[in-house]
Amino acid sequence: EPPQNVERKLIFHLQSQPTYMVAYHKPAKMHPDGAVYDAISSILSDGRSSRLYRSLVRDKQIAVVAEGFSGFPGEKYPNLFLFYAMPAPGHTNEEVAAAIQEEIDKLINEPVSEKELTGVKNRAEAGLLRALTSNSGWASALGEYQGLTGDWRNLFRQLDRIRAVTPADIQRVAKETFKDTNKTSAYIETLTTENE
Protein backbone atom coordinates (compact mmCIF):
# COMPACT_ATOMS: atom_id res chain seq x y z
CA GLU A 1 0.00 0.00 0.00
CA PRO A 2 1.42 3.43 -0.85
CA PRO A 3 2.08 5.78 2.06
CA GLN A 4 -0.93 7.81 3.16
CA ASN A 5 -0.39 11.57 2.92
CA VAL A 6 -3.86 13.00 3.60
CA GLU A 7 -6.40 12.42 6.33
CA ARG A 8 -9.27 10.09 5.39
CA LYS A 9 -12.73 10.23 6.94
CA LEU A 10 -15.61 7.77 6.50
CA ILE A 11 -19.17 8.10 7.80
CA PHE A 12 -21.58 5.16 7.88
CA HIS A 13 -25.27 5.40 8.77
CA LEU A 14 -26.31 2.01 10.15
CA GLN A 15 -28.87 0.49 12.49
CA SER A 16 -26.24 0.36 15.18
CA GLN A 17 -25.00 2.11 18.27
CA PRO A 18 -22.74 5.04 17.36
CA THR A 19 -19.07 4.06 17.25
CA TYR A 20 -15.95 6.03 16.48
CA MET A 21 -12.78 4.42 15.13
CA VAL A 22 -9.50 6.00 14.13
CA ALA A 23 -6.49 4.19 12.71
CA TYR A 24 -2.90 5.15 11.98
CA HIS A 25 -0.45 3.21 9.82
CA LYS A 26 2.49 1.69 11.68
CA PRO A 27 5.32 -0.75 10.97
CA ALA A 28 5.40 -4.50 11.68
CA LYS A 29 5.99 -5.92 15.16
CA MET A 30 9.72 -6.53 14.70
CA HIS A 31 10.42 -2.96 13.60
CA PRO A 32 12.91 -1.31 15.99
CA ASP A 33 10.00 0.72 17.44
CA GLY A 34 7.73 -2.32 17.86
CA ALA A 35 8.16 -2.35 21.63
CA VAL A 36 7.41 1.38 21.80
CA TYR A 37 4.07 0.75 20.09
CA ASP A 38 3.35 -2.00 22.63
CA ALA A 39 4.14 0.42 25.46
CA ILE A 40 1.87 3.09 23.96
CA SER A 41 -0.91 0.53 23.64
CA SER A 42 -0.50 -0.45 27.28
CA ILE A 43 -0.48 3.16 28.50
CA LEU A 44 -3.57 4.11 26.56
CA SER A 45 -5.74 1.03 26.91
CA ASP A 46 -4.45 -1.70 29.20
CA GLY A 47 -7.31 -2.11 31.65
CA ARG A 48 -9.24 0.21 33.93
CA SER A 49 -6.15 2.16 34.93
CA SER A 50 -5.39 3.05 31.30
CA ARG A 51 -5.59 6.64 30.12
CA LEU A 52 -8.47 6.11 27.69
CA TYR A 53 -10.63 4.23 30.19
CA ARG A 54 -9.96 6.70 33.00
CA SER A 55 -10.60 9.77 30.85
CA LEU A 56 -13.50 8.79 28.60
CA VAL A 57 -15.34 6.13 30.62
CA ARG A 58 -14.67 6.83 34.29
CA ASP A 59 -14.02 10.58 34.58
CA LYS A 60 -15.86 12.29 31.71
CA GLN A 61 -18.42 9.47 31.36
CA ILE A 62 -18.80 10.20 27.65
CA ALA A 63 -18.12 6.63 26.47
CA VAL A 64 -19.18 3.14 27.48
CA VAL A 65 -15.97 1.71 26.03
CA ALA A 66 -12.74 3.32 24.84
CA GLU A 67 -9.70 1.32 23.77
CA GLY A 68 -6.74 1.32 21.47
CA PHE A 69 -4.37 -1.37 20.32
CA SER A 70 -1.35 -1.86 18.17
CA GLY A 71 -1.34 -4.42 15.39
CA PHE A 72 -4.68 -4.43 13.59
CA PRO A 73 -5.42 -6.76 11.82
CA GLY A 74 -2.12 -8.56 12.51
CA GLU A 75 1.47 -7.67 13.33
CA LYS A 76 3.65 -9.68 10.96
CA TYR A 77 3.47 -6.98 8.29
CA PRO A 78 2.91 -3.20 8.48
CA ASN A 79 -0.47 -2.65 10.10
CA LEU A 80 -2.61 -0.18 12.03
CA PHE A 81 -2.74 1.31 15.48
CA LEU A 82 -6.49 1.42 16.06
CA PHE A 83 -8.55 3.35 18.61
CA TYR A 84 -12.29 2.97 19.09
CA ALA A 85 -14.98 4.23 21.42
CA MET A 86 -18.73 3.93 21.79
CA PRO A 87 -20.36 7.11 23.11
CA ALA A 88 -22.46 6.87 26.25
CA PRO A 89 -26.16 7.75 25.83
CA GLY A 90 -26.50 11.49 25.32
CA HIS A 91 -22.98 11.86 23.92
CA THR A 92 -21.63 11.88 20.38
CA ASN A 93 -18.89 10.40 18.26
CA GLU A 94 -17.43 13.89 17.93
CA GLU A 95 -17.04 14.13 21.72
CA VAL A 96 -15.23 10.81 22.00
CA ALA A 97 -13.10 11.63 18.96
CA ALA A 98 -11.99 14.89 20.61
CA ALA A 99 -11.28 13.11 23.91
CA ILE A 100 -9.19 10.40 22.21
CA GLN A 101 -7.26 13.10 20.35
CA GLU A 102 -6.67 14.87 23.67
CA GLU A 103 -5.05 11.73 25.09
CA ILE A 104 -2.95 11.28 21.95
CA ASP A 105 -1.83 14.92 22.19
CA LYS A 106 -0.76 14.34 25.80
CA LEU A 107 1.47 11.47 24.67
CA ILE A 108 3.04 13.70 22.04
CA ASN A 109 3.51 16.78 24.23
CA GLU A 110 4.08 15.47 27.77
CA PRO A 111 6.66 12.84 28.73
CA VAL A 112 5.21 9.70 30.29
CA SER A 113 6.18 9.48 33.96
CA GLU A 114 8.75 6.90 35.02
CA LYS A 115 6.11 5.45 37.36
CA GLU A 116 3.63 4.90 34.52
CA LEU A 117 6.33 3.45 32.26
CA THR A 118 7.54 1.14 35.03
CA GLY A 119 3.97 -0.14 35.34
CA VAL A 120 3.94 -0.90 31.60
CA LYS A 121 7.19 -2.83 31.88
CA ASN A 122 6.02 -4.76 34.95
CA ARG A 123 2.73 -5.71 33.24
CA ALA A 124 4.64 -6.92 30.16
CA GLU A 125 6.86 -9.13 32.30
CA ALA A 126 3.93 -10.44 34.34
CA GLY A 127 2.00 -11.18 31.14
CA LEU A 128 4.88 -13.22 29.77
CA LEU A 129 5.23 -15.16 33.01
CA ARG A 130 1.48 -15.88 33.10
CA ALA A 131 1.59 -17.09 29.49
CA LEU A 132 4.36 -19.54 30.34
CA THR A 133 2.76 -21.22 33.36
CA SER A 134 1.66 -24.29 31.38
CA ASN A 135 2.88 -26.47 28.55
CA SER A 136 0.09 -25.19 26.32
CA GLY A 137 1.06 -21.62 27.21
CA TRP A 138 4.68 -22.30 26.24
CA ALA A 139 3.61 -23.92 22.97
CA SER A 140 1.24 -21.09 22.10
CA ALA A 141 3.67 -18.26 22.91
CA LEU A 142 6.67 -19.86 21.21
CA GLY A 143 4.61 -20.86 18.18
CA GLU A 144 3.15 -17.36 17.88
CA TYR A 145 6.57 -15.72 17.88
CA GLN A 146 8.04 -18.31 15.52
CA GLY A 147 5.24 -17.69 13.04
CA LEU A 148 5.11 -13.93 13.58
CA THR A 149 8.82 -13.15 13.58
CA GLY A 150 10.59 -16.25 12.24
CA ASP A 151 12.40 -16.85 15.55
CA TRP A 152 10.81 -18.09 18.79
CA ARG A 153 13.59 -16.38 20.76
CA ASN A 154 12.05 -13.03 19.87
CA LEU A 155 9.45 -13.74 22.56
CA PHE A 156 12.14 -13.13 25.16
CA ARG A 157 13.91 -10.41 23.19
CA GLN A 158 10.65 -8.47 23.01
CA LEU A 159 10.58 -8.25 26.79
CA ASP A 160 14.10 -6.77 26.75
CA ARG A 161 12.99 -4.33 24.07
CA ILE A 162 10.04 -3.19 26.20
CA ARG A 163 12.34 -2.76 29.20
CA ALA A 164 14.52 -0.44 27.08
CA VAL A 165 11.65 1.92 26.10
CA THR A 166 12.05 5.48 27.39
CA PRO A 167 9.60 8.38 27.76
CA ALA A 168 11.45 10.10 24.89
CA ASP A 169 10.86 7.03 22.67
CA ILE A 170 7.14 7.21 23.38
CA GLN A 171 6.96 10.91 22.52
CA ARG A 172 9.00 10.45 19.34
CA VAL A 173 6.94 7.52 18.04
CA ALA A 174 3.63 9.16 19.00
CA LYS A 175 4.64 12.33 17.14
CA GLU A 176 5.75 10.36 14.05
CA THR A 177 2.66 8.13 13.96
CA PHE A 178 -0.35 10.02 15.30
CA LYS A 179 -0.49 12.81 12.72
CA ASP A 180 -3.39 13.85 10.51
CA THR A 181 -1.64 12.82 7.29
CA ASN A 182 -1.48 9.24 8.64
CA LYS A 183 -5.03 9.17 10.02
CA THR A 184 -8.21 7.41 8.87
CA SER A 185 -11.36 8.08 10.91
CA ALA A 186 -14.62 6.15 10.70
CA TYR A 187 -17.87 7.24 12.27
CA ILE A 188 -20.79 4.85 12.60
CA GLU A 189 -23.88 6.97 13.15
CA THR A 190 -27.28 5.55 14.07
CA LEU A 191 -29.55 5.34 11.04
CA THR A 192 -32.57 7.62 11.41
CA THR A 193 -35.31 8.70 9.03
CA GLU A 194 -33.37 11.96 8.54
CA ASN A 195 -30.18 10.29 7.26
CA GLU A 196 -31.60 7.27 5.39
Q: Does residue 126 form part of some domain?
A: no
Mean pLDDT of successive 10-residue stretches along the chain, which has 196 residues: 89 95 95 95 92 97 96 92 97 98 97 96 90 90 90 90 96 97 96 73
pLDDT of res. 41: 95
pLDDT of the residue at 159: 87
In a domain? residue 117: no
Q: Give the global pTM.
A: 0.91
Number of domains in the chain: 1
pLDDT of residue 193: 72
Task: Give the range of the structural domain holding residue 48, as residue numbers without chain letter.
Answer: 8-111+168-190
Distances (CA, A) of 111 to 32, 46, 114, 120: 20, 18, 9, 14
CA angle 29, 80, 149 (to 5 degrees): 20
Cis status, amide bond into 73, omega within 30 of 0: yes
Distances in Å between the alpha carbon of 176 and those of 47, 49, 57, 87, 164?
A: 25, 25, 27, 28, 19
Q: Contact, 38 vs 124, CB < 8 A? A: yes
Instruction: Give bridge partners of residue 187 from the DSSP assignment.
Output: 11, 20
Is 40 part of a structural domain of the chain?
Answer: yes
Q: What pLDDT, on the 0 to 100 scale, is given for residue 54?
A: 96
The answer to whether position 31 is within a domain reads: yes
Q: Report yes or no on 36 lying in a domain.
A: yes
- Return the pLDDT at 61: 98
Residue 145: inside a domain, yes or no?
no
Domain assignment present for 152: no
* Domain CATH for 89: 3.30.830.10
Residue at 174 is within a domain: yes
